[in-house]
Structure 1
Amino acid sequence: MGSYTSTPACSNCLKGVDLCGESPHNMSEKTNQDELTLILMGKSGTGKSATGNTILGKTIFPSNLSTQTVTKSIQKSTRTWGKWKLVVVDTPPVLTETDLVKKWKEELCIVIMVVQLGRYTEEDREVYRYVKKNFNKPHKKMVLLFTRKEDLEDGNLSDYVTKTENKHLKKLIKNHKIPYCAFNNKTTDEKEKQSQLGELMTKIMNLVEAQ
C-alpha cells in the first residue's frame, strides 16, 4: 500500500518533531530515514485497524464496528514522522507467520497492544503472553493502547488504570511498567488527533531511546 507524507509543519512540536509528522527543520530532506516498525496486536474487535489509520493519518486499513474479524492477513503502510519512516503493521488476531515474527525481532520495532477500554479479557491476556514469549522484555518493546477513549468522558485514564478491579491489567501496568495511552479513533477534531498521536509517539520514542 502507498506511503503517506504529512503536510508542512504546524506550530505544535514535540522534541523537535512536529505533531503532523514532519521535522520542523529541513523538511524537504527525506533521504536516509531510520525505519521503525509499529506492530498492532490485539484480539478481534478492539480497534486495531482504526488505530492504525489514526497513526497513519488517513484510512488505509479496512475497519468497522463489528466484533467479527476484519483483518484476516497482515497489512502494512508507511508514513513519515520526523527522521523516521514508520512502518505500521496491522495483524490478524492469530499470528502464524513465525518467519515474519523472527524478522521483526531482528529489526527496530515496537508492539502496540490494542485493548478496548473496560473490556480487558482472557483473550487480551493471551495476546500479552504471545508478545512476552516472542519479543522478550515487553516493558522495553510494548505500549498498551486503549481504544474508545471517549468512553472516559470527563474521567482520567490514569485514574481508570489505578482503580481498575482487573488484577491482571493492574499488574501489567504497575508491576511490569508497561507504558500506556488511549485513542479516540472516532474524533474529527484535528487538535485531539495530533495530541493523542503525539502522546503515543512520545512513549514509543522513550522506548526506542532506551534500546
Structure 2
Amino acid sequence: MDEPRIVLLGKQGAGKSASGNTLLHHSFHSEQVTRTCLMAMSAVDTQTIKVIDTPGWCDSSRFKTDIKQKIIKCISMSSPGPHVFLIVLPIGRFTSEEINTVMNILQEFGDEVTKYMIVLFTKGDALEERPIEDYLKELHSDLKKIIQICGGRYHVFNNRDKKSIKSLLFRRRSMKWWRGMRENVTQQPCIKE
C-alpha cells in the first residue's frame, strides 16, 4: 500500500502545523507561522506517512496570487499526488472570516477534489466529555454546509491523544474513496486555473 500523502489546508492559526507534528510523532519545523510549503515523512505504526503543511489561507485578494502559487507547489511535493486533503478547523467559535476562508479553499479546489477532503477539527480536548455529534448540531449553517461539501467526512483531533491519530489513519484505510485518490488527483489539476 502506498504511504499516505496528507495535505493540510486551513487558515493561519487553525492548528495545521500542530496536527502535522502530531501525525508524524515529531516536530518537523519550528516556525510559528508556515510561510512556505513544508513536507516531512515519518514511520507511524507499520507504515510511513508523508505530511505536507501549507501556508495559511486568508480571506483576501492576496490568496489569488501568492498563496495560490504556494499551494500548487505544496501539492506537487506530494508526488505522484495527495491521498487526502485535511481542512483544519479548531473547535470553538467561528468567525465569518474563517468561514469565508474555508469556502474559498473549497471553491478553488472544485467539486472533484472535495471528494477527497476531510474536515479535521483540532483542539478536540475542548469538547471534554461532550460528544462531537452534539457539537455539530450547534454549528453555524455554513459550517454544516462545509462538512456536507466534504461528503460528510470529519474527524476530531486531540493533539494529546494518540488514539485520535490511529483513528484517522484507520478511517483513511477503510474508506473506499481514498484508494482512488492518487490516480484521480494526478490526472487533473487540483486547483482551478
Judge same fold: TM > 0.5, yes or no: yes
User: In 2, distance between residues paired with 1:108 and 1:90?
Assistant: 12
Whether the 8 Å contact between 1:37 and 1:88 is mirrored in structure 2 is yes
2:53 alignment partner, one of 86, 90, 95: 90
Whether the 8 Å contact between 1:101 and 1:134 is mirrored in structure 2 is no
Shift of 1:183: 1.5
Partner of 1:37: 5
Which one has more relative contact order, counting CA pairs under 8 Å at least 6 apart? Answer: 2
User: In 1, distance between residues paired with 2:28 and 2:90?
Assistant: 21
Whether the 8 Å contact between 2:13 and 2:56 is mirrored in structure 1 is no
Q: CA RMSD in A?
A: 2.7
Cα distance per residue 1:147-195 (max 9 Å; x no partner): 111111110112111232x01111222465231111222x2xxxx31x1
Whether the 8 Å contact between 1:146 and 1:182 is mirrored in structure 2 is yes
Whether the 8 Å contact between 1:49 and 1:63 is mirrored in structure 2 is no
Shift of 1:135: 5.2
The one-letter code matched in structure 2 to 1:143 is I
SS at match of 2:27: coil
Partner of 1:75: 38
In structure 2, the CA distance between the partners of 1:178 and 1:129, relative to structure 1 (3 Å rule), is: farther
Whether the 8 Å contact between 2:7 and 2:54 is mirrored in structure 1 is yes
More helix, by proportion = 2
User: In 2, distance between residues paired with 1:178 and 1:138?
Assistant: 14
Whether the 8 Å contact between 2:116 and 2:150 is mirrored in structure 1 is no
User: In 2, distance between residues paired with 1:208 and 1:101?
Assistant: 19
| Superposition TM-score, scaled by structure 2 size | 0.73
State the identity as a percent: 28
Whether the 8 Å contact between 1:110 and 1:142 is mirrored in structure 2 is yes
Cα distance per residue 1:11-63 (max 9 Å; x no partner): xxxxxxxxxxxxxxxxxxxxxx6243211111111111100001001122326
Number of equivalences: 167
Cα distance per residue 1:93-141 (max 9 Å; x no partner): 1432365266359614211111010233333432343244225334421
Residue 115 (1) aligns with residue 78 (2): no
SS at match of 1:34: coil
